[in-house]
Amino acid sequence: MGNCEQRIQDCLSRIEAEDARIGAWEHVDAIGAMHRARELDGIEYAGHKGPLHGMAIGVKDIIDVAQLPTRCGSPIYATNIASADAACVALARAAGAIIIGKTVTTELATFVPARTKNPLNLEYTSGGSSAGSAAAVAAGMVPMAIGTQTAGSVIRPAAYCGVFGFKPTFGHVPREGVKLQSSILDTVGVFTRNISDTAKWYAAMTGASPAIETSTARLRIAVVTNLNEQANADMLTAVEHAIEALQSAGVHIERLRLPQAFDDAVRDQKIIQLAEGSKFYAPEYQDFRAQLNDDIAAVLEEGARIDSRDFMAAVARASILRIEADRSMGDFDCLLMPAAPGAAPHGFASTGDPLFSRVNSLLHQPAITLPIYKNTNGMPLGLQLIGARNQDRQLFTTAQRVFDAIKSNHHG
């Protein structure tokens, strides 16, 4: 058995053993994955392999994979089969990835909880809407899974499940073949178990170098305090521990309260997501209302009531604020803040609050979840680093240095 085939077999065995209790997978293509693995094992590469060679990948079930179902977590699409790969899937395959299957998403990638449980404790949510992708990576079923983010659907579930989650700069990864909720916000992202694999995925998507650059320059990090009143005590303690660890490593730290416009951006992100969601999901609402969750239908109705002038004003303010955010990032390597208000909520009534990611989703900034701390119940407390637009590779360098510094100076 070749290396790729063995890796895929290991993943399939893990899925068979674990997924009945976790519920991370919508569809597993064992035959197709094994066939592709054998194919890769039999190819002579003359020393050149793609950055994702032999990597087993799960794909969120709003993203098309040729000849596999795209059900979008909804009975409306129960029999829908994709005719072609989404662009991000095609790029992953071209880089040597092996698609194992489709991971569970919440209904139409919204806030209604899916069946997926948190692998670290089955009594807790794994987040949303990329629930299955985060859980599959956290459970060791695959080393990598693709997700999407409109508000916080990569950063938050990664934090809840204790894995790395990366949302690139808006527009860097193509969205063709993805079921969209918002043309202004939706971004394809990834879940991994290390930053190195995150950089390899980004390389496959964009053509950038897969290597993480090294640097010895003193890091300058701004700790954003704007939403601290919305974070619980465990999360605030984790932030303080991170500050202490980074300062011990020689990192320059400044606490930064961003101007009121950044607080107002939370409102504008909601306006844009609601208004665009009502338009993008108009076919489902108009033609299949009886098959929609009532809470989703109510949100679509709320979005339809937003005045077009309010929507355009929110779009205009966001455009201006992106420039201001670029300017404010000039003195820092990154911003640091919680990835969520706290650890994953207990139970399955909610997928958690995306509050801490709404603004950088609106501002199109790259962000990465760092799984470092845990609360007294042993559940992860994820921090996030936010970079400047179009500086994704620099964010990987910073994130690796920050992660290493905190781990080496953390004693609790």
Distances (CA, A) of 152 to 7, 36, 90, 344, 406: 31, 33, 25, 13, 24
253, burial (CB in 10 Å: exposed 0-12, middle 13-18, buried 19+) = middle
What amino acid positions are annotated as catalytic residues? 60, 129, 153
Distance between CA atoms of 258 and 225, rounded to whole angstroms? 8
Per residue, what are the HEC states of 194-259? CHHHHHHHHHHHHCCCCCCCCCCCCCEEEEECCCHHHCCHHHHHHHHHHHHHHHHCCCEEEEECCC
Q: For helices 233-248 and 392-409, what crossing angle results, to 10°?
A: 90
Q: How far apart are CA 46 and CA 241, in angstroms?
A: 48
Q: Which amino acid is at 296?
A: I
Tens-of-pLDDT digits for all 412 residues of the chain? 789 999 999 999 999 999 999 999 999 999 999 999 999 998 866 667 899 999 999 999 999 999 999 999 999 999 999 999 999 999 999 999 999 999 999 999 999 999 999 999 999 999 999 999 999 999 999 999 999 999 999 999 999 999 999 999 999 999 999 999 999 999 999 999 999 999 999 999 999 999 999 999 999 999 999 999 999 999 999 999 999 999 999 999 999 999 999 999 999 999 999 999 999 999 999 999 999 999 999 999 999 999 999 999 999 999 999 999 999 898 899 999 999 999 999 999 999 999 999 999 999 999 999 999 999 999 999 999 999 999 999 999 999 999 999 999 865 4
pTM above 0.95, yes or no: yes
